[in-house]
Structure 1
Amino acid sequence: MNATCLVVMGVSGAGKSTVARLLADELGWPMAEADEFHPASNIDKMSAGVPLTDEDRAPWLSALRDWITARAEAGENAVVTCSALKRSYRDILRQAGARVRFVHLAGPASVVSERLSSRSGHFMPPSLLASQFGDLEPLDATEDGVTVDLGRSPERIAASALTGLGLGTAPE
């Protein structure tokens, strides 16, 4: 297993897409948005303000895992966004045929809530933020990844993540 996949994780509004794009651009790796892997039933549920269950998330996580495996089988490293809120969800992603490493964008609910309130065009309403923080299980010492403060600029977050993962140099 030579391929690596960075999973940029955290609650909705943490900045996953922005940071993942910076990481993918810096590394020259393809990127995928996990939101694009949700079945329509999940999007409908979230749009209605109903939190997803573990059962709702299972096929979504499996599809994302399979995409990571397909990239690895093609000899490609990759970056993906995925909330990956629970360790059990991350366990599914780790079943991929690549080294799956996590970049957890962590910070207070107040900062994320402010970001969500100014975001438009996304199916995840701010009303679901509390349920996401309720489900969130931060990375532990046995998981391959780094936790980065989401309160910094996206460029500093990406630089810190790359440094913490041994994939870049320390930010100035």
Structure 2
Amino acid sequence: MRWFMWAAVAGAVAAVVLAAVALMFAGGDPEPAGAGSAPAIPAATDAAVSEAAESQVTDAPSASPSSSPSVKPSPRPTLRPMDVIAGLHTTVRELVQDGQLKPDAGEDLTKRLKDAAEKLADGEVDKARDKLEEFGKKVAKLREENKLSSAGYQTLAAGLAQLAALLPSR
């Protein structure tokens, strides 16, 4: 039963990551909270509405609308490749703890991520990309050998796809 809970959590994480990647490629900003919904207005009875309307009728001109300053949205925080690698590290560790990834396989994946991070930190983007390609192949092989759960595979693959999108092109 616990396995199903973690599989559902991993699936939800994968869905969120994929949605974020899709949003990045779409280039659109998400709709601000509440922009698509009507404002919350307390309900009133017809009698109360008509009484209020009658009592507010005046001959005085209404105030002219004032212009409000436009508010610029704050820029989205930029996701860096090293942040995604750190997230993949955490995911690997959690998959091992949850029994979705064999411990020896987790150590191997962690080493591959560490190697890729070192290459990236040294500015060797092509070598980092090669290390990440090795990581991806190892993840696929672990799934084929049933050493990695399906949900774990989907989560790692989504993170790897996000990382690939962040790396500069060759």
Same fold (TM over 0.5): no
Higher helix share: 2
Larger radius of gyration: 2
When the two structures are superposed, what TM-score results if normalisation uses the length of structure 2?
0.31
Higher strand share: 1
